């Protein structure tokens, strides 16, 4: 239920931002990185590092955006109990095309982006915990299929030279056989041109 409310919030923010001023001519570029979590079915959530690169092209009311997103999991240095789950190694890569709504004619200020495309998700070496029964390894997987993603954030008006700073909350996922094969959520920081 909480994911439904999250998507409702993304759509509401997208609608709110898209009713503002139309974007002016000019291509925008954004590079950002951050940290969050990675999720796959039947395995526990795991910390992950993410990288996003986006290019936006102006249209009348919104910008058409192309986005590359990549996420890789990592194991924090903690002590692991033998009966605890093993999240395994995972990665998620998406290539999306979508719409980006911005409130400024210079693609600055608050923004919202939603898109669809293709993606690739992998999982290897994951095991469930010992409760309620001894865990069998979760099958390794590597799938390429439909992907979708969304982001909400803010771009500063000023920064080094013609660049501005960007702060965002990003989500992307790969869907395989009618279910989410892997997803990632990240808080990112980067530069925007």
CA distance 49 to 34: 6
Q: How confident is the model at residue 23 (pLDDT cuts 50, 70, 90)?
A: very low
Q: Residue 136's pLDDT is what?
A: 66
CA distance 121 to 182: 6
Q: Residue 82's pLDDT is what?
A: 66
pLDDT digits (tens, 9 = 90+) for 71-112: 998 776 666 666 667 777 889 999 999 998 887 666 788 999
What distances in angstroms separate CA 16 from CA 12, 126, 188, one per listed residue? 6, 41, 22
Q: What's the whole-number mean pLDDT along residues 185-190?
A: 94
Q: How confident is the model at residue 25 (pLDDT cuts 50, 70, 90)?
A: very low
Q: Which domains does the chain have, with CATH numbers?
A: 2-192 (2.40.160.20)
Q: Residue 130's pLDDT is what?
A: 64
Burial bucket for residue 133 (CB in 10 Å: 0-12, 13-18, 19+): exposed
Q: What's the whole-number mean pLDDT along residues 13-17?
A: 43
Question: CB-based contacts of 142: which residues, under 8 Å, 6+ apart?
Answer: 120, 121, 122, 123
Mean pLDDT of the chain: 79
Q: Residue 3's pLDDT is what?
A: 44
């Amino acid at each position: 239920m909480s994911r439904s409310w999250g998507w409702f919030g993304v759509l509401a923010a997208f609608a709110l931002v898209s009713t503002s001023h139309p974007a002016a001519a000019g291509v925008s570029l954004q590079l950002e990185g951050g940290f969050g979590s990675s999720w796959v079915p039947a395995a526990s959530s795991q910390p992950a590092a993410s990288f996003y690169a986006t290019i936006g092209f102006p249209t009348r009311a919104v910008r058409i955006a192309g986005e590359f997103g990549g996420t890789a999991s990592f194991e924090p240095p903690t002590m692991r109990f033998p009966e605890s789950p093993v999240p395994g190694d995972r990665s998620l890569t998406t290539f999306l095309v979508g719409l980006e709504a911005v409130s400024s004619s210079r693609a600055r200020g608050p923004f919202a982006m939603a898109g669809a495309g293709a993606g690739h998700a992998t999982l290897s070496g994951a095991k469930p915990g010992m409760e309620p029964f001894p865990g069998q390894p979760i099958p390794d997987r590597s799938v390429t299929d439909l992907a979708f993603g969304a982001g909400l954030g803010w771009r500063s008006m000023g920064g080094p030279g013609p660049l501005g700073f960007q702060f965002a909350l990003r989500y992307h996922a790969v869907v395989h056989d009618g279910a989410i094969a892997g997803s990632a959520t990240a808080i990112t920081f980067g530069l925007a041109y």
